[in-house]
Structure formats: structure tokens, C-alpha cells
Amino acid sequence: QVQLVESGGGLVQPGGSLTLSCTPSGLTLNDYSIGWFRHAPGKEREVVSCISSSDSSTYYAESKKGQFTISRDSAKNTVYLHLGSLKPEDTAVYYCAVVHEPSGTGLCVAGNGMDYWGKGTLVTVSD
């Protein structure tokens, strides 16, 4: 049974940073794209960033370029999302998800046909 386990969420002050991690069990991240999505109260779920395990290509939502950084440690079979310069509007539940995608991140960015989802980790940005 495949499970994606996210960690690293929490309460942080505006301007602070967090690093989220996503580690799958029962799945090796080869030929998969891994994405981070978020769902804020009253808003639709949105894709934040994706990374390809095959060609290491990445995608960022336009508003998050330069603020968030996605990375992958193949030895640990883990994907990270560093959240920098956090703002109250970044408050959301952050989910990681994977989709079988031999190259690129197109399927991940579309977000509709992800193969597996984690349960999410809450990030709260507040004083």
C-alpha cells in the first residue's frame, strides 16, 4: 500500500520559513513527478510546485517563483519544499502528490490525475 507522508508544517511568523518534506512508503520515486499543492480556507486547491524525478525539471506557480524551492533527495526518496518569506496568505494545508510521468511535469501541474496523495500538513503564518 502506497502512502505519502508529509511533515514540517507548523506555525510561523510572517517573514519566516519552513521546509516541508514528503516521503512515500511503498513507492520509489522513479519516473514520477512529485507535486506540492495547497488548499486554503475559502479557496480552491492550487498547485504550488512540481519536480520530475526523471529529468529534474521543475515548475513553480508564478506567484511562488523565488519564494519557494522544491528539491529532491533520491537517496532518501524524499521531496522537499522550502517555503521562504512566508506571508499570512500562504496559510493553507499543503499536500504532496505523485503521478507517473516519465519526463517533465505537465501531468503534475495539471493536478487532475495524480496517482497518490498525502494527508496534508498545515502551515499557519501568523503573528
Confidence of residue 20 (pLDDT cuts 50, 70, 90): very high
pLDDT tens-digit readout, 97-126: 999 999 999 999 999 899 999 999 999 999
* pLDDT tens, position by position, 37-85: 999 999 999 999 999 999 899 999 999 999 999 999 999 999 999 999 9
Task: Please give the pLDDT value at position 112.
Answer: 85
Residue 19 has pLDDT above 90, yes or no: yes
The amino acid at 120 = G
* DSSP string covering 30-73: SSEEEEEEEE-TTS--EEEEEEETTT--EEE-GGGTTTEEEEEE
pLDDT confidence of 29, banded at 50, 70, 90? confident
Q: What does the pLDDT read at residue 10? A: 98
pLDDT at position 30, please? 87
Contact 51, 105 (CB under 8 A): yes
Give whole-number Cα distances, 8 to 22, 23, 35, 57, in Å: 9, 12, 16, 23
Mean pLDDT, range 19-23, rounded to an integer: 97
